[in-house]
Structure 1
C-alpha cells in the first residue's frame, strides 16, 4: 500500500505528476497516483473500490484544489 495518496481532479493531472516526481526526488517511493501506469489503478479493476482501498491504507493525503 502507498504511504502518500494524491487526491486531484483530472484537470490537474500534470500538476499531480509533477508533485509525484518531486516527492520521488526527495526519496518518497510509496506514492499513489490513480493514473500512474505502474502503481495506479490496474486495468479492469473497479476504480472507485480501488480509490477507497488505497485511501484507507495510506498514511497521508495530498489534496490538490485550484480555484478556476
Structure 2
C-alpha cells in the first residue's frame, strides 16, 4: 500500500521511536507498513496519522486507477 510515512517523518523531523511509543505498534510492523509490505488496519492507520499530525488521506493516499476512456 502506498504511503507517505517516510516523507512526513523527514518533513516534520519526527523520530520513529516517538511514533512507535505513541501508537503502541511494534517496530517490525511499523517498518513493514512504511515500506508498503503490510497494509495497516484502519485503527492503526488512524493512530499513525494522528501521532504524525497528518490527515489520514494524505498519509495513505488512495491509489488512483487510470481511466481508459
Considering the TM-score relative to the shorter chain, is it more than 0.5?
no
Q: TM-score, normalised by structure 2?
A: 0.31
Structure 1 or 2: more strand by fraction:
1
Larger radius of gyration: 2
Higher relative contact order (CA 8 A, sep 6+): 1
Larger helix fraction of residues: 2
